[in-house]
A and B are shown apart, each in its own frame.
Chain A
Amino acid sequence: MQNISLHNYQDFLLRFIDEELDLRETDALLAFVALHPEAQEELELLQSTKLDIETITCPSKALLYKNIFPVIVEPTTIVYPNKQKLFKKEKEKAPVILLKWWAVAAAAVFLFMMVRYGMLDQKVGSTVSKNSISKNKVSKDSPIAVVKNNAPTNTSIRNNAVAKTGSNAAAKVETRQNSISKNTLEYRAVQNIESSAIPTATIVTATETARVIPSYNGSIIDIKPTIIAEISSTPITPNEATETQEPNEIIETIDTEAASSNRSVMVGAFEIDKDKFRGLFRKANALFKNKENNRNEK
């Protein structure tokens, strides 16, 4: 460090004003100043040349910023008007009922049978209606008169029985058709009878009825109650006709619709044969009983 003297103290003072002296030089200068009043006076003068810090604001400061004035976007509250409609409430779930296995099995078997045999029955039914005559055990050899009869009768009437009293079946035929005679008479005999005696009688021959009455019309299977008549070859007098004798010929009126309805049960759209289900139910019952027995034994 350079020694401070009266020749160089001004330089030290100037550096002191500029704050360029280190700590040791500063101490040395202050000691020198304390010893030399002229140096003290000089220091005060030089200190007065030092500018006080002023705060001056640049008027165009705002113009100097680049892209910064932050645009404060106030959050706008947008409320969706139909908010209430959007709320959802979860539907309560239906309680789950646990079924026993045998109940489920029975239901499954029942449904299976219902579907299978029910459908089969439908098919069978259609075939039955087509071949209703053969199902009703009508012999092919005998000429058959099939007369339409919508009455729900299921009785087969013998010719002679009808002749005696005007049987129920014949009466039904009469009431329904208004054209069917109380009896089925031999064609010749009937020709002799006055029309007034049996006003609504109609003579039906096997050949005629076979042509006249269709048993199946397209897709619609129409099961028609029929009067099946076996026409005798022996001539019958009108009296005889009314009084009818021992039945040689059988007039069978077979109502296939009624017969099938007695045997079958409608389950929904399916027609189920009772007889088949009886057997099934028996089998199922036996199975369950066997299992219960086995359990009891165990």
Chain B
Amino acid sequence: MTEKDYNESVLLYADNVYRFIVKNLRHTEDAEDIVQSAFEKLWIHKDSVEPLKAKSYLFTVAYHLLIDHTRKAKRITLQESFENDTQTAYQENKALKKVLHDALATLNETQRSLVLLKDYEGYSYEEIGEITKLTTDQVRVYLHRARLKLRNYLISPQQVL
């Protein structure tokens, strides 16, 4: 891909990648760091990346960066919660959305990523499998589990009350 293709990818996909990351992490600054890292990697490997594959390449890189980031965060055992830390938390406007996103937070990284890739980006099982390095069946199973988990969260007694 050329410089022009790269910049076009920024124009088209930066927001999508950011949304994917910020919904996963619920942390804007970390999400920005990951997005920047993903695009930096795309720039470095732009000669080997075809323009049509740029989006999936970005999501793949971003997903793995996300996993790495999450694992690193777990090792550090951050004490602060998203709500209390000094970093900016993603603000939900509507109550239902807030509940849903709370439910999303209860998912593990893989499930959350699969849901986000599916709902936001509209990727198929195969495409998600390519991004996440999972098989199509794995994607399908993990995704269904995530949906049921969300459903259970939504119909849980705390949310009903």
Contact = CB atoms under 8 A, between A and B. Distances in A.
Residue of B125, B144, B154 contacting most chain A CB atoms (<10 Å): B144
A45 B155 contact: yes
Instruction: Summarize B's interface: helix, strand, loop or mixed.
Output: helix
Given A51-B115, A53-B119, A61 B10 contact: yes
Nearest to B42: A64
Contacts of B120: 51, 53-54
| Band of interface residues on A | 20 to 34
B50 to A, nearest CB: 18
A49 B97 CA distance: 10
B7 A49 contact: no
Interface stretch (A10-18, A108-116, A146-154): A10-18
Contact of A11 (B18, B104, B144): B144
B103 interface: yes
A110 B23 CA distance: 111
Contacts of A17: 147
A66 B15 contact: no
Contacts, number: 82
A14 B144 contact: yes
Interface of B: 3, 6-7, 10, 14-15, 17-19, 22-23, 28, 32, 35-36, 39, 43, 96-97, 100, 103-104, 115-116, 118-120, 122, 124-125, 140, 143-144, 147-148, 150-151, 154-155
27 contacts: A19-B122, A46-B147, A46-B151, A48-B100, A48-B151, A49-B147, A49-B151, A49-B154, A51-B23, A51-B116, A51-B119, A51-B120, A56-B19, A56-B22, A57-B18, A58-B17, A59-B32, A60-B36, A61-B14, A61-B18, A63-B36, A64-B10, A64-B14, A65-B7, A65-B10, A66-B3, A66-B7
Given A14-B147, A19-B122, A61-B10, 20 more contacts: A11-B144, A15-B140, A18-B125, A18-B140, A18-B143, A20-B125, A46-B147, A48-B151, A49-B115, A49-B151, A50-B119, A51-B23, A51-B100, A52-B97, A53-B119, A59-B32, A60-B32, A64-B35, A64-B39, A66-B7
